[in-house]
Amino acid sequence: MLEAADNVIGVVTGSLGLRWYDVTVTGMEAHAGPTPMPLRRDALFGATHVMQEVVHIANDFAPHGRGTVGVVNIHPARATSFPAR
């Protein structure tokens, strides 16, 4: 059909395959305040390791590897502000 329409013919030299993962990282609510560091189970801290690993895996497959974390939902989303030091 491209030849019949006098269009330029192109050659496919690559393709893209996608994988999408939904990941749940669970922690404990006692990850702030007086809880000693060894007893904390901060899910967001753990999630940062997962996000970094996505980039490391993509880099392992350079130059064609790709990886990104598009959405992070935090529940319950609570913020605590502390005075600047």
Structural domain containing residue 43:
33-70
SS3 29: coil
What is the rounded distance in angstroms from the CA atom of residue 22 to the CA atom of residue 39? Answer: 27
pLDDT tens, position by position, 26-76: 998 876 788 899 998 989 999 999 999 999 999 999 998 999 999 999 887
Per the domain annotation, does 11 fall within a domain? no
pLDDT tens, position by position, 63-79: 989 999 999 998 877 66
Per the domain annotation, does 84 fall within a domain? no
Note the pLDDT of residue 59.
97
Q: What number is the average pLDDT over the span 17-26? A: 92
CA-based diameter of the chain, in Å?
75
Per the domain annotation, does 7 fall within a domain? no
Note the pLDDT of residue 11.
80
Tally of domains in the chain: 1
Per the domain annotation, does 48 fall within a domain? yes
